[in-house]
Amino acid sequence: MLNTINFVRAFIVTALLTSTLVTINTYADTEPAVDKSLLAALDQSFDTIQKKQLEIKNLGLRADTASGVTKQALELRRDKSQLELMEQNLAYVSAVADKIDALAVVDIYLQQATDVLALQVDTLSTVSSAIRAQLVLPETGSSAANKAAAYSKVFALLDTLNYTDEVFINSLAEGKKLGIDVTQLDAQLKQDLFERAENNLALLELAIQEVSGLRASAAAVPTDTEVQANLEVGINIVARLADGLSKIVAMMNSLELDTKSYQNQLLTATGQITTDVFKADVFTNLLLGLGQTLWDGLVENGPGLVFKLILFLIIVFVFNKLANFVQKLSERALYESKVKLSQLLQRMVLMIVRNTILIIGVLIALSQIGISMGPLLAGIGVVGFIIGFALQDTLSNFAAGLLILIYRPFDVEDIIESGGLVGQVNDMSLVNTTLLTFDNQTIIIPNNKIWGDVIKNVTAQNIRRVDLIFGIGYSDDIPRAEKVLQEVVDSQKSVLNNPETMIRLHELGDSSVNFIVRPWVNRDDYWETYWAITRAVKLRFDEEGISIPFPQRDVHVYNT
């Protein structure tokens, strides 16, 4: 009877354990694995946000009851903490958006991210209001020093405002990833950016008008130091305002807002060119404006168009002949000059002389037919910027060519090694260098590849040292080997007496005793001497019974 009861008990325990294991395995198969470290990190980040809120609240309460310098210090700490809170909010929302698929309890963290985003709105509103309250422009008639100090504080506050807007834009983007409805917040942000852009543009136009008046005053009274100081401050203010407007426009572009009018006004007001000038509508407006200016000039000067066209051709023809004549004179002067110039520099000087005269001639001719130089030069500047942006690699080669021209590490007919290539310089330009290799291949190398690498000019010096190494066996006579090497070197007529040849026992190698032989020769005799000494040493060593060992290895076999 007792055995039967024990058997029943064992059976029941076994069944319970089996059922428990099946339940655990089933739960493991249905529930996704949760990264506990990820949940802990999110919880810690959310806890940090709550602590930062409490810190800001306490700083605000303390600032309300303080006064003087203490109040200012507390408010400064509170403002800094609010910026830190915005960064922490963004980091938390971004982390939830990136890891939402890996979270087991999605609703909890999604709700927390929504709350954090709402907190971000309140924080941004508080920070923006505080910044706008501190924006105070200097009074009219302020000194240059006071104006510079006041605007310095204004620009620092505007930079902070730009930063908060950028953080908020990123926060809204992360909220969209989580499926949070941010339509109203997005519309409010766009409206705020439009208002900021309008206010910034108004300040920019006023600053430009003030600078124009100061320029006139400075021209009339060039000795007035206060006017000069105010002019310098005004120019700096215009530049900073233009930069601030560019940053606002960049944020508006990231939200796909229409900024064409701001780009046109910014370019017209300051001449500042941004990457948005490449947009079709902005660039089209610029070209249309230039075309309209040219057309108006042609209409106004219609009656004398034929005469002016003939005059234009005559002026260009005369200056072309003058350019050819001056180029020949310059070429003769360079040839007869005692100053040694590289061929690249000579060609560049001649090109600059000729092209400068031609450009002057064309500009004079254009001015004679009534074309205003201001809009034309502005158009050329825009086109030049576009071409320069498209040909930036070529311009880097051009810059490297100028450095090669100035420092002259090599010249035509020199043998150089650079970028893993060896050859004789066959031709040089400001963009590339042409090498002719010893197996008669032509290689064209961009100048920035050469200037950015190590340059070895083989023919820069008139004499060179030939470095040779010869090995003898450990059983050979060292003094006799030294005597043979000295005799071989002395027998070569191309070896120079000064500097003196060096023959030394250099090292005890694994399989040989190695000598270095370093005679000096004229540059053109380098390879013939190298080959002749190598051949003569082999023949003399054979005659003298001196061995030239090869690598050896002893193998020991142990029988066990």
Q: Are strands 463-465 and 421-428 parallel, antiparallel or unpaired?
A: unpaired
pLDDT of 519 reads 94
pLDDT digits (tens, 9 = 90+) for 114-141: 777 777 777 777 777 777 777 777 777 7
Does residue 203 surpass a pLDDT of 50? yes
Closest of 413, 404, 401, 411 to residue 343, by C-alpha: 411
Answer with the residue of higher pLDDT: 177 or 512.
512
Length of the chain equals: 560
Residue 518, pLDDT score: 94
- Residues 355-384 have a mean pLDDT of 68
Share of the chain above pLDDT 90, in %: 9
* pLDDT value, residue 509: 86
Mean pLDDT of 251-279: 64
How is residue 226 written in tokens? 């206060």
Which residue has better confidence, 124 or 288? 124
Lowest mean pLDDT among 24-28, 266-270, 301-305, 366-370: 24-28
The one-letter amino acid at 535:
R
Between 495 and 550, where is the model more confident?
Answer: 495
Q: Are strands 442-446 and 502-508 parallel, antiparallel or unpaired?
A: unpaired
The CB density around residue 347, as the number of other CB atoms within 10 Å, is 17
> Nearest-CA neighbor of 127 among 153, 151, 157?
157
Across 340-354, 390-404, 444-458, 519-533, which has the greatest mean pLDDT?
Answer: 519-533
What 8-state DSSP symbol labels residue 511? Answer: S
For the cut 90, the answer to whether the pLDDT of residue 520 exceeds it is: yes
Residue 405 and residue 284: Cα distance in Å, rounded?
40
**What does the block give as tokens for 61?**
């309460």
pLDDT band for position 469 (50/70/90)? Answer: very high
Return the minimum-mean-pLDDT range out of 99-108, 230-239, 416-425. Answer: 99-108
Considering the chain, what is the average pLDDT of its residues? 75
**Burial state string for 306-329 with b = 16 or more CB within 10 A and e = fewer than 16:** eebeeebeebbeebeeebeeebee
Asked if residue 13 has pLDDT above 50, the reply is: no
Residue 8 confidence (pLDDT) = 37
Whether the predicted pLDDT of 18 surpasses 60: no
Say yes or no to pLDDT of 14 above 50: no
Which strand (E) or helix (H) includes residue 427?
strand 421-428
* Cβ atoms of residues 245 and 261 within 8 Å: no
Which has more confidence, 263 or 416? 416
The pLDDT assigned to 3 comes to 43
SS3 512: coil
Stated as kind and residue range, the H or E segment containing 51 is helix 36-65
CA distances for 381 relative to 42, 237, 388, 469, 538, angstroms? 53, 24, 10, 62, 70
What confidence category does residue 284 fall into, taking pLDDT thresholds of 50, 70 and 90?
A: low
Judged against a pLDDT cut of 50, whether residue 450 lies above it is answered with: yes
Considering only residues 384 and 205, tell me which one the structure prediction assigns the higher pLDDT.
Answer: 205
Residues in a beta bridge with 434: 427, 444
Q: Which amino acid is at 496?
A: L
Dihedral angle over CA of 307, 312, 317, 321, nearest 10: 130
| Residues 404/431, Cβ–Cβ less than 8 Å | no
CB atoms within 10 A of CB 49: 19
pLDDT at 306: 66
